[in-house]
Amino acid sequence: MSDRLLDPRNDFVFKRIFGSEDNKDILLAFLNRTFMETNEPPLTEIILMNPYTEKDAPSDKQSILDIKARTIDGKLVNIEIQLFNRYDIEKRTLYYWSKMYSDQLAEGQTYRELKKCITINILDFSYLPDKQYHSVFRLREQRTGLQLTDDLEIHFMELPKLDDTNVLVEGGLVNWLLFLKGVDQSTWEVLTMNEPMLKKAMTTLKFLSQDAEARQLYEARQKYLHDEASMIEGAKAEGERKKALEIAKSLLDSNVDIAVIAKSTGLSMDEIEKLRTH
């Protein structure tokens, strides 16, 4: 059996650690560290709405392997880890948030019964144009900052923006995110000094890494995710090429020199010559 740890950023592994009934205390500790940064009162209990089961297939859509939970006062929380940048992630996030929000109401219920919904996106890529690793969005008036409602809350946690050397003894959300990012095991003891529940998360990861069946499912999920990433990158590359061809055609119509067009678009001069003949 390999001594190499499984990657906790793999959503299959992430859900095994944070989304099982046996590990609700791990999820609770992570959420309390998250909400501490937004001055929310600590949670004392959560209810898992889609706990990990052995039937979770590694080839399922990534949204199947997210984590949904409800707080005692009825707030809904959805946590999803994203390994690569899909198209329109902000629209995708709002779409799934709106589904979570609207699906609360049964026929005949009033809007007053709608509870706050919180989406937490953990990203393995940089997305927002600032340097902070944890961003929180709500509905506020643009000029005064007046909050329209507390019902919408969206978190983006961007792992690449974390400084791997910034291992904090005092604990906090950053320690959890450093663990997820895969910081070296030599720092684990420091990470857990004021985050004792992190130790259970680490123990769970070690156990999964030594379990033959879990590793097999992990490898299957990794293959699926790599294939999906390749398809997305291929689609992006094809889209960029089509855009470059359109620009080249427009520049040709304006009698711009071929060498200038090639430098501007990244296309070869032969490709641009072919456009002239079509």
pLDDT tens for residues 223-249? 877 766 666 666 666 667 777 777 777
pLDDT at 166 over 80: no
Pairing assessment for the beta strands 134-140 and 76-82 based on DSSP bridges: unpaired
Residue 55 has a pLDDT of 56
pLDDT digits (tens, 9 = 90+) for 13-72: 999 999 999 999 999 999 999 999 888 889 999 999 998 876 555 555 444 579 999 999
Q: Name which of 248, 250, 243 is nearest 270 in CA terms.
A: 248
**Calculated CA dihedral for residues 258, 263, 266, 272, nearest 10 degrees:** 0
Lowest mean pLDDT among 114-118, 124-128, 270-274: 270-274
Whether the model pTM is above 0.85: no
Q: Return the top range by mean pLDDT from 124-133, 239-248, 254-263.
A: 124-133
Of 32, 31, 39, 124, which Cα lies nearest the Cα of 78? 31
The yes-or-no verdict on residue 1 having pLDDT over 50 is: no
Model pLDDT, residue 63: 41
Residue 106: the pLDDT is: 87
**How do the domains of the chain map onto residue ranges?**
11-210, 231-277
Tokens of 82: 């994203």
The mean pLDDT value for 161-189 works out to 85
